[in-house]
Amino acid sequence: MDKRITIYDLAKTLGVSAGTVSRSLNDHPSISQKTKDRVIFMANELGYKTNKFAVNLSKQKSNTIGVIVPKLNSIFMSTVLAGIEKVANEAGYNLIISQSLESMEKEKLNAKTLYDSGVDALLVSLAYDTTDFVHFANYIKNKIPLIFIDRVHNLPNCSTIIIDNKSAGFEATEHLIAQGCKNLLHISGNLKRNVYSERLKGFQEALAKHNLKFKDANLLESDLAPSSVKEVIAHIKSVDIPIDGLFVANDTFAAHCIKELKKEKYNIPSDIKIIGFNNDPISELVTPALSTINYPGYELGVLAGQSVISHLNGGIDLHPANSITLRHKLIIRESTL
């Protein structure tokens, strides 16, 4: 494999033109089957490899889809990615993955890098603190498909793929109320992100529906980092009327809460009932097993992948809707019984 074989080499040894070789290799209709066979045979014989760089340059396409996620090392995100990768791979696309590490600055950098490297489309789940969106302007201007997943923002001509966080939050809350909780605490993530603000809305609507007044003490905005658990405990202890129900914005943090509350001699679920969010594998392994909302990450990824691919292949979208909403599901386990 010292010298790379090109279509010119093939052309010369076959006594045809480079154009013929190129068209044969691409199964172009205007080439006779006989010629195609000869070309393909010789290509295999000589170990010809198509040079993607040249193809890319010629077509101005990279056959590559960019992905920006907040963090790679979260089970939810990596599950989404697994779904995306499967679909993309089957469709012959490569995935360039980068993480914003929850920082808008890094997200901007990533968006620029991926743009410069010529991705054919971009999938994004927004960072924790992203507030402006000019870094996506180039994509929109140049009609590069841009799709938001999970942590979304409404931009013109961009699809979003989400679940109905508000109604999921509503159901989670109503379940706690149905189990007899009177004084709930919702532990939320950054309320600038749709996923968390929507869940809060659902929480509030459920309270309202059941004539429970929403007070400041019913909400704690958190970064959901394990180390922040102590603030939760402090809040719960400081409150006048004892908290008897906890709706936590994700399972991992909920699991940490359970652990810490148990350490503080709270009994779960008899003292405090807890429900999480995501249905992470961890939710069924903690004690007591954690009630939660199933968030179909893999399906989300698959759908996102399909959406991109269909955007790219012919432009006709299989899912013409601008926004796809997946079905969530309440999962009841011991932590709320």
Partner DNA sequence: TTGTATGCGTTATCAT
Partner DNA sequence: ATGATAACGCATACAA
Gap between the Cα atoms of 265 and 244, Å rounded? 14
> In the range 132-161, which residues lie near its own copies by CB under 8 A?
138, 141-142
Choose which of 52, 182, 230, 329 interacts with its own copies (CB under 8 A): 52
Choose which of 13, 26, 32, 117 interacts with its own copies (CB under 8 A): 117
- Among DNA, its own copies, none, what does residue 82 contact (CB within 5–8 Å per kind)? its own copies
Choose which of 62, 159, 160, 173 interacts with its own copies (CB under 8 A): 62
Q: How many CB atoms lie within 10 A of CB 290?
A: 29
Nearer to DNA, 14 or 289 (CB): 14
Choose which of 5, 31, 43, 81 interacts with its own copies (CB under 8 A): 81
Placement of tokens 């309202």 in the chain: 208
- Containing 65, the helix (H) or strand (E) segment is strand 64-69
Q: Print the binding letters for residues 157-186 with its own copies: x by CB under 8 A, - otherwise.
A: ------------------------------
Nearer to its own copies, 138 or 294 (CB): 138
- Distances from the Cα of 113 to the Cα of 107, 118, 130, 171, angstroms: 10, 9, 17, 41
Q: How far is the CB of 5 from DNA (least distance, A)?
A: 7
- Containing 94, the helix (H) or strand (E) segment is strand 94-99
- CA-wise closest residue to 169 among 128, 198, 193: 198
Sign (positive or negative) of CA dihedral 162, 166, 167, 169: positive
**Does 110 participate in binding its own copies (rule CB under 8 A)?**
yes
- CA-wise closest residue to 279 among 330, 220, 208: 330
Choose which of 13, 17, 32, 89 interacts with its own copies (CB under 8 A): 89
**Residues in contact with DNA by the rule CB under 7 A:** 4, 6-8, 15-20, 22-23, 25-26, 29-32, 34-35, 48-51, 53-55, 57-60
Q: Which two tokens stand for residue 286?
A: 């903690």
Q: Print the binding letters for residues 292-331 with its own copies: x by CB under 8 A, - otherwise.
A: -----xx---------------------------------
CB 273 within 8 A of CB 244: yes
- Among DNA, its own copies, none, what does residue 74 contact (CB within 5–8 Å per kind)? its own copies
CB 157 within 8 A of CB 121: no
Sign (positive or negative) of CA dihedral 103, 99, 92, 7: positive
Nearer to its own copies, 50 or 183 (CB): 50
Grouping H, G, I as helix, E, B as strand and the rest as coil, residue 146 is strand
Nearer to DNA, 19 or 226 (CB): 19
- Among its own copies, DNA, none, what does residue 35 contact (CB within 5–8 Å per kind)? DNA
Half-sphere exposure in the Cβ direction for 154 (13 Å, CA): 4
User: Which residues lie below 8 Å from residue 313, measured CB to CB, with a gap of 6+?
Assistant: 91
Chain residues in the site for its own copies (CB under 8 A) = 1, 49-54, 56-57, 60, 62-64, 71-75, 77-79, 81-82, 85-86, 89, 94-99, 101, 110, 113-114, 116-118, 138, 141-142, 252, 255-256, 258-259, 262, 281-282, 284-287, 297-298
